[in-house]
Amino acid sequence: MKPPARLLILDDDPLTGQTISNIAVLAGVEALYTDDPREFFRLSKDWGPDFIALDLVMPRMDGVQVMVELARLNCQADIIISSGVGGRVLDAAARSATEHGLKISGVLPKPFSPARLRELLNRQSARATHTVRNTPNVAQSANSIPAHELADAISLEQIKVVYQPKINCRTGLLAGFEVLARWQHPTRGTIAPDDFIPLAEKSGLINALTESVILQSLRWFAGLSDSFGLDVGFDYLKRRLNDVTMSVNISAISLSHLDLFERIENHCRSMHIQPERIIFELTETCAMEDPVSSLDILTRLRMKGFHLSIDDFGTGYSSMLQLARLPFSEIKIDKSFVMTASESKESCTVIKTINDLGHGLGLYTSAEGIESLETLEYLRSIGCDLAQGYAIARPMSGPAIIEWLSNCNNNDETRRLNVLHSLNILDTPGDERFDRITRLAARLFQVPIALFSLVDTHRQWFKSSVGLETQETPRDISFCHHAIRDDCILVVPDASQDPLFADNPLVQSAPFIRFYAGCPVHADTGIRLGTLCLIDQQPRSFSNHQQVLLKHLAQMVENELASDFVAHSDAFTGMLNRRGFDARAAESISLCQDAGLHACLFLFDLLEFKAFNETWGRAAGDRALIAFGHALKETFRGSDLIARYGDDDFVVLMTGVDPLAAENTLLRLDDVIARSFGEYPVTHLSGWSILQRADSTQQLILRASQNMLIARSPRGN
Ligand code: C2E
Ligand code: CA
Ligand code: CA
């Protein structure tokens, strides 16, 4: 049996000291208490405590001094700071201790709650069983492990990796994983990275270590969605997994080693992983060490497509100006603030400030160290983008992640409703993103009614509907409630002849359903939230080909649910931006190719827009951009994809269109523009191209822009 963990207490108040000791003993932890610093240092050396509870303010020595001394003695215990002083001081002390290299497991404000102390001890004992730092007779610190052992460990692949899931705060959906290194030592047990990364950095082994970590994780990542076999129940999850990201930690020293990144790029290429799915995490201090050459290196990495994240933000020292110049895509709020958010107002202020700063610089914000659902809720409330922490999931081995994902995939009703409710989508206003798809469905299938229905506890609620006035119906009479029972499409060719539906009030009275086809819409790792469904008042048959098409449309709804709309829309006009267009156009194009439908892409370029701005002023320029967007919306159909593609470039993709109609559409646009542009008309060039069998979005755009230059003279007034 494992020996009980040991807690050493230093406190000038015997009553407090004794109380802490009693609580610890009840929690199965051995405890020793002293109020004498000298005795304390002797015990911390000879007795080898796993935990230290430390009072910050004592008459003979202050807690901060004690921590400096503990750091000098290379103390490996987990430290719990207790004190009656205010939260801000406590937080500052905790941060200063972390900077000295001590392991701070939490703060215990006085008057303290026994539950909080037990929680800190339990959490740490759980960790103690996984790491060796709590077996006092074994030397574990970086200083005591010889470098050659680490070198051997790297070549023998004893450095393994674990993965910690990261979710989108707003939707609760899986967004990616962070890779964390673990040393599986044959005799010392598992060694935590804080204990061997510094050694690797000091002894010139860090690049080899990083490459080993990256190779293992890329291999796992490349095969991830295939680990779920051919079971159709996992189709949604498999598709989602091809979009999630993987974050890897990079040490400051590695940053200047360009050959390392070249090799990483090659590994990605050979395993068919897009660099866009890989995020390198660098601490802010690391990037700031040499801002000039950092800018150079980081920019090159971004140009290869990799994303960059500023790790542990808030703990280093950075100049805001330099930070703003560096090409990061994400800012990661340090866990020391996040872990203390529930008990410290100051931490919340810091979190919110960093979050606003990140968004102000156009970065995604991410928080790690989330240990309670309350903190997760707080982060959601301030609009933080991404979340990671024990309350969501612990770091796990590759196979454990697969098991975790499979378990998340089960559609038990409680979990299903939890996911639905955490999406915060019920009872929200209409949304163009989904309306475009229901309109497209109604048009392609020529049905009077098309719905995106969410199956809630006692009702189905329509997030988007074409051809139906009601916003919801009771769940027990809904067709969709049946359709979400498995992953196939539910087809009811004639409800009046179907024993399950013939008596249904929706069949007997308005909307007089005769034909129904509903395809499940998934979220999270495979939960069926509701359906995309088609309804007709006539009986109909529904071919296999049509089923494939409906499935395609349902996948578009799923992609909208999972997409980050903020990143996909142009803040100024509210239209889709280039990224948003590219993501959706690819789907629409493959839909047309699968279904043998025509599609037509239009490109518009406002002429001499710069000169226009100079002549009429920026405000008029802004109005013209918005007006042009409106004119496009009025001219094209609600099911078309319309976007602002660049500063003064616009693009429209029409799906399921007669190619001959293209010319007419442009004439219609001219009419709309003539009517709606008042004082300052803009002129534009336009070009279009028709979808060919194997086209990609880029090929369509290229041909449209060639046609624009060759075939058309300037249009407009
Ligand atoms: P980090 O990059 O800040 O990684 C996050 C650390 O927070 C991980 O510790 C993770 O297990 C822990 N964590 C996540 N959620 C929670 C939570 O809710 N509560 C608490 N208390 N902790 C949480 P880990 O794995 O011990 O890693 C420690 C550090 O070691 C990492 O900090 C990172 O700086 C470094 N590291 C890990 N793997 C590598 C690597 O492959 N290369 C390099 N250069 N550094 C690495
Ligand atoms: Ca990290
Ligand atoms: Ca971090």
> The domain that contains 501 carries what CATH number?
3.30.450.40
164 lines ligand 1 (CB under 6 A): yes
Is residue 563, in this structure, part of any structural domain at all? no
- State the closest ligand 1 atom to the C-alpha of 206, by its place in the atom list counted from 1: 44
Q: Which residues of 549-577 are buried (b: 16+ CB within 10 A; e: fewer)?
A: bbbbbbbbbbbbbbbbeeebbbeebebbb
> Do 116 and 27 share a domain, yes or no?
yes
429 is a domain residue: yes
Beta bridge partners of 32: 8
Show Cβ contacts of residue 585 under 8 Å, excluding neighbours closer than 6 positions: 601, 641, 653, 697, 700
Between the CA of 312 and the centroid of ligand 1 the distance, in Å, is: 10
Based on the domain organization, do 505 and 634 belong to the same domain?
no
DSSP class of 715 = B
Taking the chain (717 residues) in runs of 10, the rounded mean pLDDT of each run is: 85 84 86 90 90 81 78 87 67 73 78 77 53 36 78 94 94 92 92 93 94 97 91 86 94 88 95 95 78 77 88 78 80 94 92 91 92 94 95 95 86 88 91 94 96 97 96 96 94 96 96 97 91 98 95 94 78 87 92 88 89 86 88 92 92 88 87 78 85 88 83 45
Sign (positive/negative) of CA torsion 10, 16, 18, 20? negative
Pick the residue whose CA is nearest to atom 21 on ligand 1. 369
Residue 293 and residue 389 in one domain? yes
Cβ–ligand 1 contact at 103 (below 6 Å): no
**Does the beta carbon of 393 lie inside 6 Å of ligand 1?**
no
Tens digit of pLDDT for each residue in 541-572? 999 999 999 999 999 999 999 887 667 888 78
- If you measure from the C-alpha of residue 309 to the centroid of ligand 2, how many angstroms do you get, rounded to a whole number? 9
Instruction: Output the CA 353–ligand 2 centroid distance in Å.
Output: 20
Q: Ligand 1 atom 19: the closest Cα is on which residue? A: 369
Strands (E), 484-556: 490-492, 515-523, 527-536
Long-range contacts of 130-133 (CB under 8 A, 24+ apart): 130/190, 131/189, 131/190, 131/191, 131/192, 132/185, 132/188, 132/189, 132/190, 132/191, 133/50, 133/76, 133/192, 133/195
Closest C-alpha residue for ligand 1 atom 7 = 369
Q: 653 and 641 in contact (C-beta within 8 Å)?
A: yes
Is the CB–ligand 1 distance for residue 249 below 6 Å?
A: yes
For residues 331 and 353, the answer to whether their CB atoms sit within 8 Å is no
For position 19, what pLDDT does the model report? 83
95 and 191 fall within a common domain: no
Domain membership of residue 140 (yes or no) is: no
308 alpha carbon – ligand 3 mean position (Å): 13
Q: State the pLDDT at residue 268.
A: 96
CATH number (domain holding residue 221): 3.20.20.450
Query: Do 270 and 347 sit in the same domain of this protein?
Result: yes
Enclosing domain of residue 484: 420-549
Measured from the alpha carbon of residue 164, the closest ligand is 1
Q: Is 370 in the pocket of ligand 1 (CB under 6 A)?
A: yes
Q: Cβ distance 561 to 479 under 8 Å?
A: no
Whether residue 316 is found in the same domain as residue 392: yes
- 535 and 441 both lie in a single domain: yes
Q: Report yes or no on 495 lying in a domain.
A: yes
Establish whether residue 369 lines the binding site of ligand 1, counting it when its CB lies within 6 angstroms of any ligand atom: yes
Give the HSE-up count for residue 706: Cα atoms under 13 Å, Cβ half-sphere: 8
> Is the C-beta atom of 210 inside 6 A of ligand 1?
yes
Q: What is the pLDDT of residue 13?
A: 82
End of a domain among 358, 384, 409? 409
Number of the ligand closest to the Cα of 334: 3
**Same domain, residue pair 303 and 360:** yes
Distance of CA 180 from the midpoint of ligand 1 (Å): 6
Number of structural domains (the chain) is: 4
For a substitution probing ligand 1, which of 95, 202, 249 has the most ligand atoms within 8 Å of its CB?
A: 249
260 located within any domain: yes
Residue 314 Cβ contacting ligand 1 at under 6 Å: no
Kindly report the protein residue whose alpha carbon is nearest to atom 25 of ligand 1.
180
Tell me the CA–centroid distance for residue 497 and ligand 2, in Å.
60
What pLDDT score was predicted for residue 139?
35
> What is the CB neighbour count within 10 angstroms for residue 367?
30
- Residue 145 placed within a domain: no
CA dist 377 and 338 (Å) reads 12
With a 6 Å cutoff on the Cβ, whether 298 touches ligand 1 is no
Cα 409 to middle of ligand 1, angstroms: 27
Burial class (CB within 10 angstroms; exposed 0-12, middle 13-18, buried 19+) of 413: exposed
Query: Do residues 548 and 519 lie in contact, with contact meaning Cβ atoms separated by under 8 Å?
Result: no
| CB of 530 sitting under 6 A from ligand 1 | no
Say if 146 falls within a structural domain.
Answer: no
Residues 520, 654, single domain; the answer is no
Whether 392 maps to a domain, the answer reads: yes
Query: Of 514, 549, 584, which residue constitutes the final position of a domain?
Result: 549
Contact 343, 82 (CB under 8 A): no
Same domain, 249 and 353: yes
Q: How far is CA 480 from CA 295, 475, 650, in A?
A: 53, 8, 38
Ligand 2 centroid to 419 CA: how many Å? 27
Same domain, 530 and 600: no
Atom of ligand 1 nearest to the CA of 200: 44
Report the CATH number that the domain containing residue 576 is assigned in CATH: 3.30.70.270
Token readout for 91 is 């937080």
User: Of all atoms in ligand 1, which is nearest to the CA of residue 368?
Assistant: 15
Task: Answer whether 371 contacts ligand 1 (Cβ < 6 A).
Answer: yes
In a 3-state reduction of DSSP, which class is residue 558?
helix
Which ligand has the shortest distance to the CA of 342?
Answer: 1
Contact 390, 419 (CB under 8 A): no
* Same structural domain, 226 and 339: yes
Of 521, 549, 577, which closes a domain?
549
